Amino acid sequence: MRSTHPWQTSRAGGLAKVSIGPRAMALVADLKHRLGMPYRKIVDLLRSYLGIRVTHGALVQACRRLSAKGEQTYQAMICLVKRSHFVHTDDTGWRIDCQPAYLWVFATDWLTVYVVARSRGSDVVLDTLGADYRGLLVSDGLPALDTLHKQHGFHRAQCLGHLVRRASEMEAEQSRNAVSFPRAVKGLLKEAIALSHRHDELAPSTMSQYARRIERRTDVLLARNITHPDNLRLKNHLAAHRDQLFPCLYDPLAPPTNNRAEQELRGAVVTRKIGGCNRTDQHARSHAIIASVAQTAHRNGHTLTDFVREWMQIRPPPPRPPHATTPSGLFIPPPASAQVLPLH
């Protein structure tokens, strides 16, 4: 018999009795997957400041094992996203073994989930949120997501910030006789964004009256006879997504922009530029799991150590359930339940 400490992470003996503890492993995973530091620089940091000598290959394999232990937490986070009132989504370019891929983010007001996929289509959203998601999906104008509303009944909200930037660029680039339409669109959308932040100070009836005014002005704007090609494309986009422009004017919880998703992607962009993304699909999955948990913990005032210590500690075998034996008498443990995030 050999006793173990609750924080012990390995029972290995002999030459293999040295192992990386949960705090050091959490530091490594956080530096790599949230802050984007390469493994070789992490090895130098551990040796220079903590006296821990380890190869970068050992850290790669350790993060792979760590992500496998965090799979249940990752799945629990996805379940929480599916039950959220609204979800911000966006994507950025990624690489898997030098091949094109995409890193998606699904963010709420306190939760961040990353998904690495080779597709930039609506199938990634369906696989993550499910076809029966009935919350509000806040996104940019990615054409691939239009099928979510048409075929699956998703409730979408267009990011007004993206449309304002698009109208501003058109206003700056076009000739004098073609700037009136993008200028009017930009002013109208800015008023809508400002009004969406006044739910707390205005009565519901007053808020509804102001919202109807913006709706009428939008219809008048879209009824214009537009001949300039760029202006016509903007008009057609607004008309095709007319019912997705102003959910923020009627629902106090609905955000007017997709800024939350863009903010959650900034760290991923740094990781992509410095670390070179991933070599295999398994490493891409590991990055998605660890980065999701690390970023969510950081947003809520926790550290990745709070999770890693729970994942890595050795637990005694569960009690033997009745009538759960094989013909040879081997013990069959009960299925593990999903871990609940130790946040709010």
Q: Report pLDDT for 13.
A: 72
Confidence of residue 339 (pLDDT cuts 50, 70, 90): very low
On whether residue 97 sits in a domain, the answer given is no
Query: Is 181 part of any domain?
Result: yes
Q: What is the pLDDT of residues 203-216, one digit of tens each?
A: 999 999 999 999 99
Q: Is residue 340 part of a domain?
A: no
* 181: containing domain: 160-249
218 found inside a domain = yes
Q: pLDDT grade, residue 276 (50/70/90)?
A: confident
Torsions phi, psi for 71 (to 5 deg): -60, -40
Q: How deeply is 322 buried, as exposed, middle or buried, from its count of CB atoms within 10 A (0-12, 13-18, 19+)?
A: exposed
Bridge partners of 34, per DSSP, are none
pLDDT, residue 309, reads 86
Examine residue 100 and state whether it is found in any structural domain, yes or no.
no
d(CA 334, CA 319): 9
Report the number of distinct structural domains present in the chain.
1
* Residue with tokens 């205005």, as numbered in its chain: 202
Count CA within 13 A, CB hemisphere, residue 4.
Answer: 14
277 CB-contact burial (10 Å; exposed 0-12 / middle 13-18 / buried 19+):
buried
The string of pLDDT tens digits covering residues 38-78 is: 999 999 999 999 999 999 999 999 999 999 999 999 999 99
In a domain, 277, yes or no: no
188 lies in a domain? yes
- Domain contains 73: no
Confidence of residue 319 (pLDDT cuts 50, 70, 90): low
158 membership: H or E segment, kind and range:
strand 155-158
